[in-house]
Amino acid sequence: MKKTDCLKEIVAKKKEKILLAKQNLPEEELKLKVQGLGPTRPFIEAINKPRQISLIAEIKKASPSRGVIRESFFPQEIAKTYQDVGVQAISVLTEEDYFQGSLNYLSEVRNAVELPILRKDFILEPYQVYESRYFGADAILLIADLLSKDKLVELMTIADSLGLDYLIEVHDEKELKKILTMKVGLIGINNRDLHTLEVDFKTTEKLFPLIPKGKVVVVESGIKSSQDVLFLKILGASAVLIGQTFMEAENIAKKVEELMGW
């Protein structure tokens, strides 16, 4: 990808996709559809275990920085492998243009496993929160960089009303300060700069000490070895979110065991 602001491009495309989705299924209809759904699976509860570090294992076919990561891509099979090897939760990438994701992967994965599922996407407006619930997510990713404080509060309130947990992702001090004034229980530190796509593990080292005790912290991106996981466990992270390393592995289960020391 050329040296442009990757996040800007993704968001522009995402806005087009939301307009199309609303034409196919208007928001009022979507709201009616989520009313009769069964309960969600508790996401925060699943990953917040004392004295251990949990794993949110990700299902993604491609990424803007790497292109296609996994050629033979069967979300249900991957999800079952994750469940069998003992992961605590699953993240499903649903962004279509840059990650080759799909909302249908959420439904497929939900039907295949009992684990709670995070919808990983670029969520900008209420429609997508209802959509996440309808397609089978138990939690959603909200990126602090993309959303004003008011918008975050609006989306969190809707998520609460639908029984969805939310992971609020930050990757610098300014974003962290913004969300620490709000009632946020689950914070994600992303070591990847979404504008340049560069990964810097020092982001976690810098931001983690600034987060008050009692918050559940998930570390994302650039976690490639059991040493990385051990470092984060000692630091006090509740969970790691790992995708690319597993998607590149020939034997996913073996890679999970190797990284997590299970």
DSSP 145: G
Q: Is 250 a catalytic residue?
A: no
In 3D, which of 175, 187, 258, 191 has the Cα closest to residue 223?
A: 191
Q: Is 28 a catalytic residue?
A: no
The one catalytic residue among 14, 60, 178, 233? 60
Q: Is 9 a catalytic residue?
A: no
Q: Is 96 a catalytic residue?
A: no
* Helices vs. strands in the chain: H and E counts, helices first: 12, 10
Q: Which helix (H) or strand (E) holds 112?
A: helix 103-112
Q: Is 16 a catalytic residue?
A: no
Q: Is 65 a catalytic residue?
A: no
The one catalytic residue among 169, 178, 238, 255? 169
Burial of 171: CB neighbours in 10 Å, binned 0-12, 13-18, 19+? buried
Q: What is the DSSP string of 153-222?
A: HHHHHHHHHHT-EEEEEE-SHHHHHHHHTS--SEEEEE-B-TTT--B-THHHHHHGGGSPTT-EEEEES-
Cα–chain center distance at 229: 18
The one catalytic residue among 14, 58, 125, 233? 58
CB 101 within 8 A of CB 95: yes
The one catalytic residue among 48, 54, 132, 221? 221
The one catalytic residue among 190, 191, 233, 255? 190
The one catalytic residue among 14, 61, 120, 178? 120
Q: Is 248 a catalytic residue?
A: no
DSSP 9: H
The one catalytic residue among 108, 125, 131, 220? 220
Radius of gyration of the chain (CA): 17
Q: Catalytic amino acids?
A: 58, 60, 120, 169, 190, 220-221
